[in-house]
Amino acid sequence: MYKLLRARIPDAKKVELLEFRFSDFPLSEFELIQCGIRCFFELGVVEKFKVPAETLTRWMYTVRKGYRDITYHNWRHGFNVGQTMFTLLLTGKLKKYYSDLEAFAMVAAGFCHDIDHRGTNNLYQTKSASPLAKLHSSSVMERHHLQYSKTLMENENLNIFQNLQKRQFETVQHLFEVCIIATDLALYFKKRTMFQKIVDQCGEIKDEKEVINFVSNNPTRKEIVMAMMMTACDLSAITKPWEVQSKVALMVAAEFWEQGDLERTVLDQQPIPMMDRNHADELPKMQCGFIDFVCSFVYKEFARFHVEITPMFDGLNINRGEWRALADVHEAKIKAIEDEKKKLEGGGGDAAVWCLWDRKRDHGKYR
């Protein structure tokens, strides 16, 4: 069965599975399922941990089915996070700190990390007093994704970890919790300095074996690096080639605007600018802020930690330049309108300004 399954799934190099620049756009959702299976074969965990081929296939299909058909937090995003974890481990050379079992769990958790996402964030769950918010007091959506993932493990027909020993299975469940809960960005900000300290300390050690032991023999350090890897995976669209990043950014923004619409209509509240479609023209400026205050740290530190991960940091900086250029164009248009407004007087002048504003805004839409 393994030979048959291997023969029917895409070659890793052909679809660039091991590249940080990987794009899901050319592939169908079915092909992404096949690529997910390929990741586990490339890791060497399918035969090592006696994962039945039928079970692995059913699990991948079920994970895909568990993602809702929403604008951004759908199966494609789930797959991309699993693929980036796979790439960080192998291409980024981070696998040397982790056992095969740990790598197996980390990639599987990546695929599952946003399963059954509703397109709204934790704050919305709390504000709307949703059933999930009543069930989980913190990291609401992340705990739901974790619980959903564990439910799959309870089904014998879907449990890809069914042939592990009891202690190994408990380790996998713990790692799922570490990985999935780590995708709550609120926790990322709390762990950043700890990760930076690990990177600094590793930089002071000259012998590679000592560096490996320094991380791999300390469970706390391993889990901090693991948590940061999940953040790097979750935000990885920001590092992709511009033609990919620009499209994905619009998907993220569209889902945010949909939440903003719900906040207005259901909660009767004014959404923050990021969630407000009336502020759509500020997207480039907001992307620059997101890169500077959220993303830059994790990719800069990983590039310091492992030079092999530098392409992610380079991609991030290239995209920041693109967003900055768009933001500058928009700001120049706003300034021109304001300058003309100062020159014009009276009601007719105001009407002319707003007419000009509408015309310029229409031409300046981001597609």
Q: Taking Cα atoms as reference points, which of 77, 136, 144, 138 lies closest to residue 111? A: 77
3-state SS assignment for residue 31: helix
What percentage of the chain's residues is helix, strand, coil (to nearest 5)? 75, 0, 25
Rounded Cα distance, 142 and 179, in Å: 10
Q: Provide the 8-state DSSP code for 267.
A: S
| Cβ neighbours of residue 296 closer than 8 Å, sequence gap 6 or more | 316
Rounded Cα distance, 273 and 310, in Å: 32
| Cβ neighbours of residue 326 closer than 8 Å, sequence gap 6 or more | 284, 366
Question: 330 catalytic, yes or no?
Answer: no
29 Rama class: left (phi>0) / alpha (psi -120 to 50) / beta:
alpha
- Other beta carbons within 10 angstroms of residue 12's beta carbon come to 17
Catalytic residue, from 73, 136, 145, 330: name it.
73
| Cβ neighbours of residue 170 closer than 8 Å, sequence gap 6 or more | none
Tokens of 126: 């709390």
What are the binding residues? Answer: 73-77, 113-114, 234, 287
Largest CA distance in the chain: 81
Tokens of 304: 């310091």
What are the binding residues for AMP? Answer: 73-77, 114, 234, 287
Helix 100-112 with 219-234: angle, nearest 10 deg: 30
What are the binding residues for Zn(2+)? Answer: 77, 113-114, 234
Residues belonging to the active site = 73
